[in-house]
Each structure stands twice: as structure tokens, then as C-alpha cells.
Amino acid sequence: MESSISSVSTSSKSKRLLFDRRYGWVIDEWKDPSEEALAGGRGMFCILPIAKAAVKMASESVSLAANSVVISKSS
């Protein structure tokens, strides 16, 4: 279906000239996913998942502490 004509490689990017029956000749560029993930971010994050994880961790800590107190008193 696709045939590679030429390729150019660098450390984190790779370009190939491919023929696709649907689109014709296209340049396929592979980028390192870790660099792409950091490139689009602007240092923003969503507080809701962080708050949910913090509340869950706090409730588990309280439950663990309460269970350890109950177990130590019954021994």
C-alpha cells in the first residue's frame, strides 16, 4: 500500500516521503512522543484530579491510622 522513497533521520525526528493511494505523495514526519507531550504544554494542569487523589490518600491514611489504633488497643 505504501512505499518509502527516501528517508531523513535526526536524533528525535524522522521524515519519509511516502505514496498513499488516498492522498498521493506525502511527507510522513515521526516525532518523539515525550518531546511532543512537553511541547504543547504551558505548565497548566487540572486541579480536580489532584484534589481527588489528595482526598483519597488522606481518607486512606485516616482509615489506616484508625485501624492500627483499634488493633493495638485490642491486643
pLDDT of 52-68, one tens digit each? 999 999 999 999 998 88
Residue 75, C-alpha cell as written in the block: 491486643
pLDDT of 15-62, one tens digit each? 889 888 898 898 888 888 777 776 666 666 778 888 999 999 999 999
Range of the structural domain that residue 25 is part of:
1-31
Number of domains in the chain: 2
pTM to 2 decimal places: 0.39
Q: Look at residue 39 and tell me if it is in a domain.
A: no
Q: Residue 49's pLDDT is what?
A: 86
In the chain, the DSSP E strands lie at 3-9, 13-20, 24-31
Residue 29, C-alpha cell as written in the block: 514526519
Q: Reduced to 3 states, what is the DSSP secondary structure of residue 4? A: strand
Q: Both 49 and 74 in a single domain?
A: yes
Q: Both 26 and 4 in a single domain?
A: yes
Q: Look at residue 40 and tell me if it is in a domain.
A: no
Q: Residue 62's pLDDT is what?
A: 93
Q: Look at residue 3 and tell me if it is in a domain.
A: yes
Q: Look at residue 38 and tell me if it is in a domain.
A: no
The Cα–Cα gap between 61 and 56 comes to: 9
Q: Look at residue 21 and tell me if it is in a domain.
A: yes
